[in-house]
Amino acid sequence: MNPELRKDPVIDRWVIISTDRGKRPHDYPQPPRRVDPSKCPFCPGNEAATPPEVSAIRDPNTQKDMPGWEVRAISNKYPALRIEGDLNREGVGIFDKMNGVGAHEVIIETPQHDLSLSDLSIARISDVFGVSQGRMTDLERDPRFKYLMLFKNEGEAAGASLEHSHSQLIATPVVPKRVQEEIEGCKRYYAYKERCIFCDIVRQEMRDRERVVDENSDYLVLSPFAARFPYEIWILPKDHRASFHKMTREERNALADILRRALRRFRVTLNDPAYNMMLHTEPVGNSHEHHFHWHLELIPKLTRVAGFEWGTGFYINSTSPEQAAEHLREVRSEQLEAVTPMSTVQQRMRESA
Amino acid sequence: MNPELRKDPVIDRWVIISTDRGKRPHDYPQPPRRVDPSKCPFCPGNEAATPPEVSAIRDPNTQKDMPGWEVRAISNKYPALRIEGDLNREGVGIFDKMNGVGAHEVIIETPQHDLSLSDLSIARISDVFGVSQGRMTDLERDPRFKYLMLFKNEGEAAGASLEHSHSQLIATPVVPKRVQEEIEGCKRYYAYKERCIFCDIVRQEMRDRERVVDENSDYLVLSPFAARFPYEIWILPKDHRASFHKMTREERNALADILRRALRRFRVTLNDPAYNMMLHTEPVGNSHEHHFHWHLELIPKLTRVAGFEWGTGFYINSTSPEQAAEHLREVRSEQLEAVTPMSTVQQRMRESA
């Protein structure tokens, strides 16, 4: 069955029913895909095991889909949404559904199987963002797509299915609920104050300092006032910026610097946690330039989400953002630089946490 | 620090910052509390290890906080919200917070350490619901509380911190976002059609049958059209009912029957999964009687929530609700009756899944 988007008729929440990944009942819980590095589809030499590359940073003397790359973007072999087809909407009695049209790409962040994103140099991390920007610029030309969600799952506890470091980009034919809620909130605030709410948050947090983790010329790292999870942090441009993929090369280098430090703070303070990273950026079409402000949300995977959270949408956080910021802030520069690459064995241990 | 409710200024999402459960960074991930059954605070003989009971079904010849009970409700020793205090709201610059006032109770479902809810007889399960109804009737008299969330985490993967079978009841001073969204959806539909949307869903699903898992005189079990998770199921009253805790004894017995069968279907089909169960019922105050319809949501914990879900609020479900319903429906009556109590050892194995 082709992927299908279905809408909950009560709360307007879309889900993707994607049964190509389909399983029999006893296939759950899904075992992690432990691959011998020599057979890892994301390692150089195994390019034929993935769909063709759509973009790469590679040695100019090398060929597409061959070794010689530093960052490589491909279509996902098991896409949640399919690139082919039109956006037919259809009613099923009181229910609504839509073809599961979209794009699902993977950005392989390094040729080295054993390195994590935070092990890379600032220049290399900047390259990873550069490839993401390029893919977003390309995908936003497709009129079927309303939103581009860039995210990263690191470690099995955070939902990574392959250990080789990668991020993912999914183009969706509707603006996701969670992003739409942020946009509505930003609009309401802008209508009232004629200022961007995130700009005001940045200003207040830079004055208060107690939730600030780190900063550089262009970015602020903070633990948000109403953090859902222990040690949740956000990275925001200090100046007003609506679209992630329109950042300049200088802004990208500064982001690579601050993200690398943030991830290393996690590693020192939280003992190499699994984590999720999600980008919230302006939806395709440029209509929220004044009131929306892009940001990265980082959630180390330290606790389990349980019935209360599922039932209410409330979260119970057992570490205050002020405590979290303090613990992350107190990591010294020498400690950040002394972080050594994780071996695959360490990664596996972390993944079983 | 006393628990605090904080609101995200952009998307109006409340979180509970409850640092009494507070931890240093290296206390995460939190190890499960494996207790020797002889020291289990929920076992008979250890009543002194818990706060005093607030309600119980017990042998009339036995005393409060002593053995002799079948179902026992207590305050949570580590409450997410505290019963004492007033509801002060306060601004912190552009942020909002509120005292973490509420109630957090535990309903111990059986004196037997090794039994799960689905191992109990229909009459005993009905008793468990009876105690929950009583606690909800009592707590709704407190004018500070706007919502009563009854839920259950079974198995460590679903967030249970003690293995002895129990459910929890949290009274909150605001209507949770997730419930509020349902109410808004129900209101919109009612304004348009002058009918309850859940009544219409029940009618359509009973006609279509393909997502129906089970039914009895009073209840329908179905896998919802836009299910977020593989094998997610909902239990709904067939007739219009807004408030769970106002159900009659007969309705309660019928619910116990259908829930027991549903949980046993999970055990047979999905190999004793961990699961979450959440009740959505009318908020305190009776103002949604015509358009709201209570239901139980059950989510077996088979997959991990990852960055795409956190970032978008979209879910990717790799088993269609129709497949899930078919697999759950095909469990035969003899198989349902032949389910044997799980030993603690089996439970532990399941919990490490």
What average pLDDT does the structure give for chain A? Answer: 92
User: Does the beta carbon of A191 lie under 8 angstroms from any beta carbon of chain B?
Assistant: no
Q: Is the pLDDT of residue A20 over 80?
A: no
User: Does the beta carbon of A153 lie under 8 angstroms from any beta carbon of chain B?
Assistant: yes
Instruction: Give pLDDT, residue B249.
Output: 98
Q: Strands B219-222 and B233-237, how do they pair?
A: antiparallel
Q: Where are the domains of chain A?
A: 4-351
Instruction: Give pLDDT, residue A236.
Output: 98
The reply to whether residue B11 touches residue A279, judged by beta carbons under 8 angstroms, is no
Q: Is the pLDDT of residue B353 over 50?
A: no
Going by pLDDT thresholds of 50, 70 and 90, the confidence category of residue A324 is very high
CB A110 within 8 A of CB A58: no
Instruction: Give pLDDT, residue A352.
Output: 46
DSSP H helical ranges for chain A = 122-139, 177-193, 197-208, 249-270, 307-312, 321-329, 333-337, 344-351
In terms of CATH, what superfamily is B4-351? HIT-like (3.30.428.10)
Instruction: Give pLDDT, residue B203.
Output: 97
Instruction: Give pLDDT, residue B352.
Output: 46
Candidates A6, A7, A17, A295, partner chain B, best to mutate (most B CBs within 10 A)? A17
Nearest-CB residue to B178 (from A149, A305, A311): A311
Taking only the tens place, the pLDDT of each residue in A166-216 is: 999 999 999 999 999 999 999 999 999 999 999 999 999 999 999 999 999
Q: Which of residues 120-139 of A touch B (CB under 8 A)?
A: none
* A171: three-class secondary structure by DSSP: strand
Phi, psi of A199 (to 5 degrees): -60, -40
- Chain B: residue whose CA lies nearest to A20: B318
Going by pLDDT thresholds of 50, 70 and 90, the confidence category of residue B38 is confident
The reply to whether residue A305 touches residue B305, judged by beta carbons under 8 angstroms, is yes
Q: Which of residues 33-72 of B touch A (CB under 8 A)?
A: none
Nearest-CB residue to A151 (from B185, B303, B308): B308
Nearest-CB residue to B15 (from A9, A152, A317): A317
* In chain B, % of residues over pLDDT 90: 78
Instruction: Give pLDDT, residue B287.
Output: 85
CB B126 within 8 A of CB B265: no
Instruction: Give pLDDT, residue A187.
Output: 96
Give the mean model confidence (pLDDT) for residues B277-286: 94
Cβ neighbours of A13 in B, within 8 Å: 226, 228, 313-315
Nearest-CB residue to A149 (from B6, B29, B311): B311
Rounded to a whole number, what is the distance in Å from the CA of B49 to chain A's nearest CA?
Answer: 23
B166 is catalytic: yes
Instruction: Give pLDDT, residue A286.
Output: 76
* Beta-carbon count within 10 A of B174 CB: 20
Rounded to a whole number, what is the distance in Å from the CA of A159 to chain B's nearest CA?
Answer: 5
Q: Is the pLDDT of residue A353 over 50?
A: no
Q: Is the pLDDT of residue A250 over 90?
A: yes
User: Does the beta carbon of A31 lie under 8 angstroms from any beta carbon of chain B?
Assistant: no
The reply to whether residue A151 touches residue B311, judged by beta carbons under 8 angstroms, is yes
Give the HSE-up count for residue A124: Cα atoms under 13 Å, Cβ half-sphere: 20
The reply to whether residue B312 touches residue A158, judged by beta carbons under 8 angstroms, is no
What average pLDDT does the structure give for chain B? Answer: 92
Rounded to a whole number, what is the distance in Å from the CA of B80 to chain A's nearest CA?
Answer: 7
Q: Is the pLDDT of residue B1 over 80?
A: no
What is the rounded radius of gyration, in angstroms, for the C-alpha atoms of chain B? Answer: 20
Which of A20, A82, A16 is CA-nearest to residue A51?
Answer: A82
Cβ neighbours of A12 in B, within 8 Å: 185
Taking only the tens place, the pLDDT of each residue in A268-286 is: 999 999 999 999 999 998 7
Top-confidence residue, B86 or A93: A93
Candidates B156, B304, B350, partner chain A, best to mutate (most A CBs within 10 A)? B304
Q: Is the pLDDT of residue B64 over 90?
A: yes
The reply to whether residue A201 touches residue B9, judged by beta carbons under 8 angstroms, is yes
Give the mean model confidence (pLDDT) for residues B315-336: 94
Taking only the tens place, the pLDDT of each residue in A115-159 is: 999 999 999 999 999 999 999 999 999 999 999 999 999 998 999
Give the mean model confidence (pLDDT) for residues A19-41: 74
The reply to whether residue A29 touches residue B303, judged by beta carbons under 8 angstroms, is yes
DSSP conformation letters of B301-344: --S---HHHHHHS-EEESS-HHHHHHHHHTS-HHHHHT--PPPH
Give the mean model confidence (pLDDT) for residues B15-30: 75
* Beta-carbon count within 10 A of A336 CB: 18
Q: Tokens standing for B107? A: 């309903």
The reply to whether residue A308 touches residue B19, judged by beta carbons under 8 angstroms, is no
Going by pLDDT thresholds of 50, 70 and 90, the confidence category of residue A32 is low
- Interface predicted TM-score (ipTM) of this complex, two decimals: 0.91
- Chain B: residue whose CA lies nearest to A310: B278
Cα A327 to chain centroid, rounded:
24
- Between chain A and chain B, the number of residue pairs with CB atoms below 8 A apart is 309
Q: Which of residues 80-119 of B touch A (CB under 8 A)?
A: 80, 92-95
User: Does the beta carbon of B227 lie under 8 angstroms from any beta carbon of chain A?
Assistant: yes
Taking only the tens place, the pLDDT of each residue in B195-228 is: 999 999 999 999 999 999 999 999 999 999 999 9
d(CA A156, CA A274): 7
Instruction: Give pLDDT, residue B317.
Output: 94
Give the mean model confidence (pLDDT) for residues B152-172: 94
Nearest-CB residue to B313 (from A178, A277, A314): A178
First and final CA of chain B: distance in angstroms? 35
The reply to whether residue A319 touches residue B30, judged by beta carbons under 8 angstroms, is no
Cα→Cα distances B230→A238, B7, B166, Å: 41, 31, 24
Choosing from B26, B104, B113, B166, which is the catalytic residue?
B166
The reply to whether residue A9 touches residue B185, judged by beta carbons under 8 angstroms, is yes
Cα A211 to chain centroid, rounded:
22
Rounded to a whole number, what is the distance in Å from the CA of A296 to chain B's nearest CA?
Answer: 10
User: Does the beta carbon of A317 lie under 8 angstroms from any beta carbon of chain B?
Assistant: yes
- Chain A: residue whose CA lies nearest to B207: A93
The reply to whether residue B311 touches residue A323, judged by beta carbons under 8 angstroms, is no
Candidates A15, A233, A302, partner chain B, best to mutate (most B CBs within 10 A)? A15
Going by pLDDT thresholds of 50, 70 and 90, the confidence category of residue A344 is low
* In chain B, % of residues over pLDDT 70: 94
The reply to whether residue B310 touches residue A94, judged by beta carbons under 8 angstroms, is no
